Amino acid sequence: MELTYPLFDLAEAQTLAEFLASEDWHFHAGPHQTLASAHARIASGEFDGDHDRTHWIVRDDERVGMIHIEDLGDGNPLFDLRLRAGHRGRGLGTAAVTWLTAAVFGEFPDLNRIEATTRQDNVAMRRVLVKCGFVKEARYRQEWPSEGGTRYDSIGYGILRSDWGMGVTTAVNWEDGP
């Protein structure tokens, strides 16, 4: 299995719009994209602005997913990872997050941390984050609304450059006061 992570180019706007509209992304905000809504997001610069970057996840010449990195300019970037349903559960998420962490820390030496947020019920992504060295740092109760009206907890994770560089995880101090 060969994985590559080519940078998205605006000339591929139609391909990205089709990708976003091709599936329901249940664990993402706005889980149902239309071609029109996807094109609007792309046109707004959301996927390739000054502080945003998007990479395809390509397996054996097939685009099987994407990684969108946000807030590269504020010192605390976070990311959105999407894999096509038929390619989940095969280690691609772990490979992508491992690649992303090395790529971001490698290219941006002043960044101290990378953040990720997911829904409480996205167990697969939560496992990937922990496996890749991210530490659970926050739980935002009933913060993530769903289309059916259910509100899910958001779980926040982060990885520090120092932990990543030494191959360790530093636990959060939850006992520091009220």
CATH of the domain at 135: 3.40.630.30
**Would you say the C-alpha torsion 173, 127, 101, 16 has a positive or negative sign?**
negative
Do the domain assignments include residue 46? yes
Do the domain assignments include residue 174? no
- Return the number of other C-beta atoms located less than 10 Å from residue 4's C-beta: 12
Percent of the chain with pLDDT over 70: 99
Decide if pLDDT at 29 tops 80.
no
Q: Which of 51, 49, 64 is nearest to 15 (CA)?
A: 64
Decide if pLDDT at 12 tops 90.
yes
pLDDT (average), residues 10-37: 87
Do the domain assignments include residue 176? no
Mean pLDDT over all residues of the chain? 92
Q: What is the pLDDT of residue 145?
A: 87
Instruction: Give the count of domains, the chain.
Output: 1
* Band of residue 94 on the pLDDT scale cut at 50, 70, 90: very high
Q: The whole model's pTM is what?
A: 0.93
Q: What is the pLDDT of residue 147?
A: 79
Q: What is the pLDDT of residue 9?
A: 93
Write the DSSP assignment of the chain as a string of letters: --EE-PBP-GGGHHHHHHHHHSS--TTSSS----HHHHHHHHHTTTTTSTT-EEEEEEETTEEEEEEEEE-TTTT--EEEEEE-GGGTTSSHHHHHHHHHHHHHHHH-TT--EEEEEEETT-HHHHHHHHHTT-EEEEEEEEEEE-TTS-EEEEEEEEEEHHHHHHT--PPP---S--
Decide if pLDDT at 34 tops 90.
no
For residue 27, what are the domain limits?
3-166
